[in-house]
Structure 1
Amino acid sequence: MAKEIKVPQIGDGVESATVSEILVAEGDKIEKDQSVIAVESDKASVEVPSSAAGTIKEIKISEGDEVEVGQVIILLEDSDDGDEEAEDNKETSEEESEDTDDDDEKQSDKKKKKVEEEKSEDSKDSADDEDEDSDEDDEGEEEKESENDESESEDEDKKEKKKSGKSSGKSTGAGIQASPGTRRLARELGVDLSEMAEEISGKISEKDVKEFAKGGNQKSTKLASVSLPDFEKWGSVEREPLNNIRKATAKNVTASWQSVPHVFQFDEADITDIQQYLEANQDKAEKAGGKLTITALLTKIVASALVRFPKFNASVDMENQEMILKNYVNIGIAVATEKGLLVPVIKNADKKSIIEIAAELTNIAEKARDGKLSKEDMEGANFSISNLGGIGGTNFTPIVPAPQSGILGISRSAKKPVYIEDEFKPREILPLSLSYDHRLIDGADGAAFINWITQALEDPYKALLGA
């Protein structure tokens, strides 16, 4: 009898992923824990192992398909296990049969009791009968309405399943835990329960729906949309689906932009002298397996700044009206890949040397471009750095990745004439852009933060000494 291989839990909060590669073929003999497919989520690419050994009878998915946790992807032919399963099914069937007989007896007793009660009710006067009929009518209407609600919910579930082409239903259809009344309210308010199911574990209540509709659920990532015209009126068009990374980016930046009141601050740093420092120490970084860059140096400088300015290392909790100050310094580094932007995290950056940071940056950048970042590699950032200097531009305004409170943007440096000691001298000037959450940080704090970073860039030892 065939044994089912299902998609395991890929990671916290990851309920679906796209099949990027099928590593086996029908007829192959595989061992337990052997990788059978590779999947890609918005967080990382991972290989899915087989939960059992056997011969592959059928592969039920194709490359490019989106699969959900618990979905059957492969059938294995395994006669020994099949006999055991058949025996288990037989025992289960016998138990269910016994339960059914017990249920039938109970139902028969209930029917007899109901008949006796109805006969007793016939002896009441006509006034009682009228009241009784009225009550029964009300109850009948309520039961009918409930049945209609359930019918509508079932129809809705079927439509959602048909639309998605899946039967496991994690965030759609019957997989959503909500009463008929809650579903009806969601339809009336225009709330998508599948989006709520991504944020709320357990049963969704009417209160949850109302708060979601009012925008009270700050975790909501529902995208604002506009009505699109028929673009084909002016020429031919092509449609291309968004990959998982791009979909996640769209949701996250929209949520951040809608929930964080942004302030943008700009400054310029003279990095003429610090470039000499980078060149002089490049050999040390290469021996450690990295490359000493302005990003590596700024990661160390920003780590020191976050210790000095703790609000930039904090998060705001509006629900409890609190500021969460963190006693660790983790910095996210934006990395551009062919599939989109990924932000791996340098953990405990304040406790690492510039050489250690340089080596780690090189490693995580390679993993990001190869699609090998794990969930842990991308979690826990308190502040982020985005460097577009290798591409160009004089300044930009990066979006704060909530629940972080700030992000530093780096643009391309350029030689500029700077008036020093009664004459103009050519100096290498680096533009910096700071975005921060105004709920936690005021303009004076923002100016002080970026000014300290600028001074640290102009003095290579400032950050190291913690001055």
Structure 2
Amino acid sequence: MAIEIKVPQIADGVETATVSEILVAEGDKIEKDQGVIAVESDKASVEVPSSDAGTVKEIKISEGDEVEVGQVIILLEESEDSDDETEDTEESSEEQEEKTSEEENEDEGDDAEEKDGKKKKKVKEEKAKDNKDESDEEEEKETSKKDESEDESSKENEDKKSNKSSGKSTGAGIQASPGTRRLARELGVDLSELAEEISGKISEKDVKEFAKGGSQKSTKSASVSLPDFEKFGNVKREPLNNIRKATAKNVTASWQSVPHVFQFDEADITDIQQYLEANQDKAEKAGGKLTITALLTKIVASALVRFPKFNASIDMENQEMILKNYVNIGIAVATEKGLLVPVIKDADKKSIIEIAAELTNIAEKARDGKLSKEDMEGANFSISNLGGIGGTNFTPIVPAPQSGILGISRSAKKPVYIDDEFKPREILPLSLSYDHRLIDGADGAAFINWITQALEDPYKALLGV
């Protein structure tokens, strides 16, 4: 038998991924843990390692295919085993001995065989007759079963119609395992409603998402009905990639579940720009670039320690606030395939130079599609900087279960009244979005005000004042 290489669990909650590259060819000899394909999911782009060593016999997928966890992707030639050869030799020897023994007894059994010949023939004829009778009976039974099945099918259709009109569902005809059906009953999920939005077999994950309100149904129900665009002119349809699918699903769920509050402020970054320029060489020596995003990551990290509700998540099911003793900040990175949000871990414990180097590294990995699932997990708060593109302000959506996100727009020179006269100053617009279930307006105003003051005085963030 050939050895099967299957798709492992790529990331938490990820059941499918798209094959972006095949790294081996048929006939290649590969080692255990060697990468065989690269896949892209909504959370990461990773290489799938081989679970065994051997020669590639067959590649069962192609680039661009969508694969599921547990799916066989490659067959390897089974390695030869000396024990198997020995076993085959022993079995062959035993067969030879049995054959010799049979030949020795063959002469003695000739007379008995001749005597029993007629008897065996008679028994054989009787058996054939019995088998024919049984076959006729089976055929009658099958016909009867078919008729009963058609009657039951007709009755089932009538029951379905009756249940639909009464608002109840038996779940008949729905593709779901017994475990999935049991989970649906426990969570109070109507599988018939879920089946309307999901083609194919319903998984336990589908049931859980539907129960939490983050189902495909909620995403679809938030969409408008589309007209026939082709009657207005030529159109072209392109499938959404995994990143875009995930973005659409996640922002819809966040928008529907989080009561947003948006707050705005402006920071005078004239002096801070001089600080960035003066320390740029230090960042470059460390392999990074000192930017306003790097500085704000450090400032926000200090703010999250000072304002712990912004570093928390709300658990409505258990009516609790989850306060975290670590500070991880997600940084939105625009790529050709869509928005990715890698995470700076323990940002409060790192210097601005260290953060600058790490930001440069993860941004490159994001654009090259080399982020791992670990690179994108565990964010408590996010930062999105659109200043390099433009715009005066925007309202970013809180990425649940985080409680807030800070948006940065393009800075511009503005006249500011200082010491009885107007002076040109570089002003940076800031947009803060947060979850009103956890954070009140006064807390939001204090948070963004502290960040603004820290930008105007960077030592405030460094000293934690």
Quickly name the TM-score band, shorter chain normalised.
Answer: 0.7 to 0.9
Question: What displacement does 1:52 show?
Answer: 2.1
Match of 2:449 in 1: 451
Match of 1:199 in 2: 205
Q: How many residues align?
A: 384
Question: What displacement does 1:199 show?
Answer: 3.4
Q: Gaps (5+ residues) in structure 1?
A: 88-139, 158-172
Secondary structure of 1:380 counterpart: coil
Match of 1:399 in 2: 397
In structure 2, distance between residues paired with 1:428 and 1:403 = 34
Question: What displacement does 1:456 show?
Answer: 0.8
- Indicate how the Cα distance of structure 1 residues 360 and 180 shifts in structure 2: closer, same or farther if over 3 A, else same: closer
Match of 2:265 in 1: 267
Match of 1:238 in 2: 236
Which deviates more, 358-367 or 386-395? 358-367
CA contact (8 A) 1:199 1:219 kept: no
Question: What displacement does 1:180 show?
Answer: 12
1:23 and 2:23 correspond: yes
- Indicate how the Cα distance of structure 1 residues 190 and 45 shifts in structure 2: closer, same or farther if over 3 A, else same: closer
Per-residue CA deviations over 1:359-398 (Å, capped at 9, x if unaligned) read 1111111111111111111111111100000000000000
Match of 1:413 in 2: 411
Secondary structure of 2:458 counterpart: coil
Per-residue CA deviations over 1:159-180 (Å, capped at 9, x if unaligned) read xxxxxxxxxxxxxx55972269
Per-residue CA deviations over 1:5-51 (Å, capped at 9, x if unaligned) read 21122222221110111112222222322221111111111111222
Match of 1:217 in 2: 212
CA contact (8 A) 1:23 1:36 kept: yes
Match of 1:424 in 2: 422
- Indicate how the Cα distance of structure 1 residues 195 and 6 shifts in structure 2: closer, same or farther if over 3 A, else same: closer
- Indicate how the Cα distance of structure 1 residues 181 and 384 shifts in structure 2: closer, same or farther if over 3 A, else same: closer
Match of 1:365 in 2: 363
CA contact (8 A) 1:387 1:411 kept: yes
- Indicate how the Cα distance of structure 1 residues 302 and 4 shifts in structure 2: closer, same or farther if over 3 A, else same: same
In structure 2, distance between residues paired with 1:410 and 1:376 = 26
Secondary structure of 1:80 counterpart: coil
Question: What displacement does 1:296 show?
Answer: 0.6
Give me the TM-score of the superposition, normalised by structure 2.
0.76
Counting only pairs closer than 5 Å after superposition, residues 28-427 of structure 1 correspond to structure 2 as: 28-78=28-78, 80=80, 156-157=174-175, 174=177, 177-178=180-181, 185-187=190-192, 192=197, 197=203, 199=205, 212=210, 217-220=212-215, 222-223=218-219, 224-427=222-425
In structure 2, distance between residues paired with 1:382 and 1:196 = 31
CA contact (8 A) 1:415 1:427 kept: yes
CA contact (8 A) 1:409 1:434 kept: yes
CA contact (8 A) 2:180 2:204 kept: no
- What is the one-letter code of the residue matched to 1:371? G
In structure 1, distance between residues paired with 2:81 and 2:251 = 49
- Indicate how the Cα distance of structure 1 residues 332 and 179 shifts in structure 2: closer, same or farther if over 3 A, else same: closer
- What is the one-letter code of the residue matched to 2:311? N
- What is the one-letter code of the residue matched to 1:440? L
Question: What displacement does 1:54 show?
Answer: 2.5
Question: What displacement does 1:181 show?
Answer: 9.9
Question: What displacement does 1:264 show?
Answer: 0.5
Which deviates more, 403-412 or 54-63? 54-63
Match of 1:127 in 2: none
Question: What displacement does 1:328 show?
Answer: 1.3
Secondary structure of 1:461 counterpart: helix
- What is the one-letter code of the residue matched to 2:191? A
Match of 1:461 in 2: 459
Per-residue CA deviations over 1:315-358 (Å, capped at 9, x if unaligned) read 11111111111111111111111111111111111111111111
Secondary structure of 2:247 counterpart: helix
- What is the one-letter code of the residue matched to 2:437? R
Secondary structure of 1:434 counterpart: strand
In structure 1, distance between residues paired with 2:454 and 2:394 = 21
In structure 2, distance between residues paired with 1:286 and 1:181 = 55
Match of 2:107 in 1: none
Which deviates more, 185-194 or 14-23? 185-194
Per-residue CA deviations over 1:67-94 (Å, capped at 9, x if unaligned) read 1111111122326379969x9xxxxxxx
Secondary structure of 1:33 counterpart: coil
CA contact (8 A) 1:199 1:220 kept: no
CA contact (8 A) 1:306 1:313 kept: yes
- What is the one-letter code of the residue matched to 1:353? S
Match of 2:11 in 1: 11
Question: What displacement does 1:225 show?
Answer: 2.5
In structure 1, distance between residues paired with 2:183 and 2:313 = 38
Give me the TM-score of the superposition, normalised by structure 1.
0.75
- Indicate how the Cα distance of structure 1 residues 199 and 269 shifts in structure 2: closer, same or farther if over 3 A, else same: same
CA contact (8 A) 1:412 1:430 kept: yes
In structure 2, distance between residues paired with 1:326 and 1:275 = 32
In structure 1, distance between residues paired with 2:407 and 2:228 = 37
- What is the one-letter code of the residue matched to 1:252? N
Say what the alpha-carbon RMSD is for the aligned residues. 3.1
Secondary structure of 2:8 counterpart: coil
